[in-house]
Structure 1
């Protein structure tokens, strides 16, 4: 039977937590195809994931390339791009399928963090508000789209950073996103490791540079040098 949804999960070196993350998706396997796309991990991520997904695909490293690889192997007509450190709400599949039935070609969830500190609630509020205002989604918000929409925008642009912003801008030309108020829960580890204020300022600075035409290869170098 053809799956109702293909869930595409790009990973690199997630062995320490991938089993726990994939276990949460097991109840969905009767309706969804789970595709894990490994970008050259050297920590057994693919081996650990293999019994917990329908297929493990190998790709050149780079989130855009990995997600495009997953889309090429997807069987469903609706695609969900899910980061390994993001957890879906319980009714996520029904919400996505209803959005598509209602005529939306793409969309995303509101985001929350797995840390209860007020500062993370504020960051999430600002991310969700900005997304509604601009119609731009981030990868943390679990982007979904029809296969037709994905093909119409020729997939994720093969850039080293900001691929989520770039594809959102393309998808906006097809129609407005469905901004689901149900919340995915994503990890706060990046913010905690590198400092909350430092991470906020870095991401704002990178997005501003991208908006004014900076080469994504330069941005990714700045991201990993400063983060």
Structure 2
């Protein structure tokens, strides 16, 4: 990763994946002007899907959720460049890739400091031909083997002690080659011990139950045992 340091911002980027000007790469208007926008998705904000010269990418601006997010939408307390959320997520993705976990490649991260706070952005790989579990399960049930593949990725993630604090079925993708992926590692971190891992599994199970009620997905409680089966 290359590191560019300016007076009020830091940019980290992989020059093999981003040959465009990294200072412009976090601006959706830059991609729009160059007719490189592939689409977008709505969450806490807009995630833009863009086509770089080398790879399809997802551009995300970090935003707060909950009550605090209504007051301070996208500013965070600054306590050092390497403690910014964008840099932390970039590093975590690299750790997971080295461990063989199917996660998006980090392309570039930015943090912009203003007084005592900062704002942040991340550019990461858009997994090609992939849908999240909610979308898939609205159409059809999954096989036992597919659930086992999902469980394998979670166990690999846990083996390197990464706590995914928002593990839900929106953050698990399956591509057209039946490969399972885990995404969205904002606020996730390395944590020692095993006591917290059960919380990840329980959170995932709750998300299945929630979408069963909300979206009428093809899922039964018995399916979850295949995810947890080693």
TM-score by length of 1: 0.32
- Give the structure with higher Rg (CA): 2
The structure richer in strand per residue is 2
The structure richer in helix per residue is 1
